A and B are shown apart, each in its own frame.
Chain A
Amino acid sequence: MNSITTILNLILKFLWKNILLIIFFLVGLFFVVVLRKTTILQPEIVFLDVGQGDAILIQQDNFQIVIDGGGDTSVLYGLAKHMPWYDKTIERLILTHPHQDHLEGLLLILKKYKVEEVWYFPVEYEYSGYEYLLKEYETLLQEVKAGDYIRYGDLYGIVLFPFEGDPQRVRNVNNASVVMFFEIDEYKILLMGDAEMEVEEKLLNYEFLHGIDILKVGHHCSNTSTSEELLSFTQPSIAICSCGILNKFGHPHYETLEKLKNENVQYLITHEEGDMKFVF
């Protein structure tokens, strides 16, 4: 009898000494049971503030599409903030074109996350990061062309450019950018990558681009992109300029912002707004 009391006392003492641990354990258990099932049910798109560069996250449930990765580690913190903490898989990673400010962060995503497929258009371009991508992640790479699409839940995305048979050797890599159109729950989103006016012209044949809701403006709102024709054709409600503060290129260019103003388009700049999330 005596020994039982001693053991009970010991157990009580142990429990009391580790009370903090036990409380955390119980609360954790509760969270696991109740919240583990919580996923992002509503589709959302996040334009991440990654400094001078592009990075866009589109997700629903546990399905993630990431378009470009910016030029440094910022994208990792951005993804961490917006993705569910237990989900470390990105279903589609899309590289619009192999410039450093789009690719370097994407390579870091490949280093830190499990990625199922990487979409890209194979252009000829000399950059050590691009060579590294082609060599190290060969098995994940998937060449894309206009017409390729992704569908998951309420998400529907289609590649509008480059067209099949477009040359891989281009003078300006920006004009080999993968341009994507997304329709999420009846909202229309056009993501231009760094495509310039030359590409924009080719998009004016797509009738469904009338009256889009969000336009990710091409080439960080540079004056080489966003023609008046494109704006009047697509009539976007919101335009997003993804660029870093005091960048050496002077993005966003004044002329582009003026054009957006003249067309009554509300424009938002990542370095002013931070990450921009739209839930549909």
Chain B
Amino acid sequence: MYLRIRRILEGVFLRFQKRVIGLARFLRDYKIISFSILYIILDAVMITLLRNIKVSHTIGLLGMALLCIMFCKVGKKIKNKKGEISGRRGRQKKKKEWIGTIFELLFFVIITTLLVCLRITPVLRYEEDMQEKVLGFTNSSTILKGYIYDEPVEKHRSQQLVISVLEGELEGEGKVLPEGMLVQVKTASFYKFHLGQECELRGTLEEPENFEGFDYRAYLRDRKIFLLMNNPVVKCTSISERHHGSILRHGLVDMKNNLIEIIEEVLNEPQSSLLAGIIFGEKKLFSKFFDEGTRVAGLSHIVAASGYNVTILVVTTEKIFFFLPKKLRVIVGLIVIWLFAILSGLSSSIVRACIMGSISLLAIIFGRSNTVHVAIPLASALFVVAQPLIVFDVGFLLSLSAVLGLTYILPILLDLKAKVTKKFQFVDDNILPTLSCTLGTLPISILTFNTFSIWAVPSNTIILPIIDTTMFLGVLGIVAWNIFKPLSYIFFTITNMQLKYFEFVVNLIHSLDWGQFEFSGGASKFVSLTFLLMAILFIIYLYPIENEQYNYYLKSDS
């Protein structure tokens, strides 16, 4: 018995070792993948480091690290020479190869670090600059003129605006606010605001404060907001006089809002907000009870701009145009998702999701399975280059981890299921993708929300099958609204029923009042890290590889 267990364990270990080495070889060959992953990780590390340690210290540390490496290199070279003199050429050669690899790796890391530093320095300098400037503006009466920079966010007792300052002055002190500075404003929820509208605000500027263990300052800082203004007196110009910001974006957002108004005109709450969320990824306000319910049921991702709707679009176009050849279908899919991105006002999260979606579609066109392994890290790295602070954006991390879940966990689950039975196509189509997405996002959601709900998988399994038709019919309903209203009502009636079912599931799970576990801050970090490590290990061990015995990277002598 003991021997058997030992043999099994040895087998597991050997397979694992082989795969880790294979992965290392693969990463060594595909430098673009390793570079992308490294860039993303170092971006997060360096930003955290540079924010907490003074710049001079970091430069000093980096310098010292460089010196250490140089000394090591010199030391090794001397050692190698000694080795050569004493003979035993074969072993020395292997050792030399290893040292070479390590140096290559270190060189790679240093170069990436330098690139990361070059990119993030201006961002951090701006942050530091603003933080210094902000100190002089707080707690005194201010009049500022600015334009609405971002779409207003509805809250239960108020709404939040982000204003980009055009001109502003502290009353009596003559201090001038820097132009282009962003200020987050809390105001009564009944006002109607539009993107780009110019407003004059009179109130007191305040610095954000952290609350209930949530680092609100850091959260706002990542959005380049350093000042708040609560309940100011607001006077805005009429909507027709919008001269600030991108006109294209205003037009698109207005169009999206008009379409959402159609939904609101036909459907009631929470159905209207749910549909707006599913179609446009628009984060609308639910009642507190329902909002908590969606979280407990693990269904918030459906209604938030998590890029989930892009995935649905791809799947739905695949279903509808199943008779077209594969490549043509992909092209139709691409057109549809980009039309959708435009319809949803080109909001950054949707654009991100569309880029990710396009990559996976293009991977199908090019038909090389490796393309997707390159495309995901490369695209993510490009996002990080464009916006270095994106690595702290929960939405980005969630959509990335969902894509990773679909790419790396889904094949494992499909493989395992195929070994058990080939029947029940429904499981392959619905349950397993949900499960892999949920598992993929688990570490991030535990880390961010400090909760873990056991309902996520069952509730998604019974909800997701209806969502694509909901979205499809919702869009048809909107289109039909301006052409023939009775037809539109037919579509919306079906959508309404499906969303009532959604509401029923959420309320049912919420009323059970069981199954959600909360972690404290420290514990959530530990649990999330454990999940992440376990996921990585499982993926390495179980990821199905075609013709494994002939795989170049897994051959023992390659």
Contacts and interface: CB of A to CB of B under 8 A. Distances in A.
A28 B498 CA distance: 10
Interface in B279-320: 285, 287, 290, 319-320
Given A13-B322, A71-B157, A77-B287, A104 B270 contact: no
5 contacts: A18-B320, A20-B466, A25-B494, A86-B266, A104-B189
B268 interface: yes
A111 B489 contact: no
Contacts of A86: 266, 489
B49 interface: no
Contacts of B266: 86, 88
B192 interface: yes
Interface string A71-104: 1111011011001011010000000000000001
A80 B269 contact: yes
Q: Is the interface of B mostly helix, strand, loop or mixed?
A: helix
Given A10-B323, A17-B322, A85 B268 contact: yes
B190 interface: yes
Contacts of A24: 466, 469, 473, 494, 497-498
Given A36-B489, A74-B287, A79-B268, 15 more contacts: A14-B322, A21-B472, A24-B469, A27-B494, A27-B497, A28-B491, A31-B497, A73-B157, A76-B269, A85-B267, A86-B266, A111-B190, A112-B264, A128-B233, A132-B190
A128 B188 contact: yes
A88 B233 contact: no
Q: Is the interface of A mostly helix, strand, loop or mixed?
A: helix
Interface residues of A, number: 38
Interface in A9-44: 10, 13-14, 17-18, 20-21, 24-25, 27-29, 31-32, 36
Contacts of A211: none
A136 B233 CA distance: 16
B399 interface: no
A21 B469 contact: yes
B465 interface: yes
Contacts, number: 90
Contacts of B233: 128
Interface residues of B, number: 37
A256 B309 CA distance: 54
Interface of A: 10, 13-14, 17-18, 20-21, 24-25, 27-29, 31-32, 36, 71-74, 76-77, 79-80, 83, 85-86, 88, 104, 107-108, 110-112, 114, 128-129, 132, 136
Given A21-B472, A29-B490, A111 B270 contact: no
Contacts of B211: none
Contacts of B267: 85
Nearest to A28: B494
Nearest to A18: B319
A17 B465 CA distance: 13
> Among the interface residues A13, A83, A86, which one has the most CB atoms of the partner chain B within 10 A?
A86
A20 B322 CA distance: 16
A13 B321 CA distance: 12
B138 interface: no
Contacts of B469: 20-21, 24
Interface string B469-497: 10011000000000000000111011011
B265 interface: yes
Nearest to B155: A73
Interface in B362-380: none
Nearest to B491: A28
B493 A28 contact: yes
Nearest to A74: B287
A28 B465 contact: no
A32 B270 contact: no
B268 A108 contact: no
B319 A17 contact: yes
Contacts of A28: 490-491, 493-494, 497
B191 interface: yes
B270 A77 contact: yes
Nearest to A89: B265
Contacts of B323: 10, 14
B156 A72 contact: yes
Nearest to A84: B268
Contacts of A18: 319-320
B271 interface: yes
Nearest to B290: A77
Nearest to A35: B493
A112 B270 CA distance: 13
Contacts of A77: 269-270, 287, 290
Contacts of A21: 469, 472-473
Contacts of B496: 85
A114 B498 CA distance: 25
A-B residue pairs, 4 tightest by C-beta: A28-B494, A107-B190, A80-B268, A80-B269
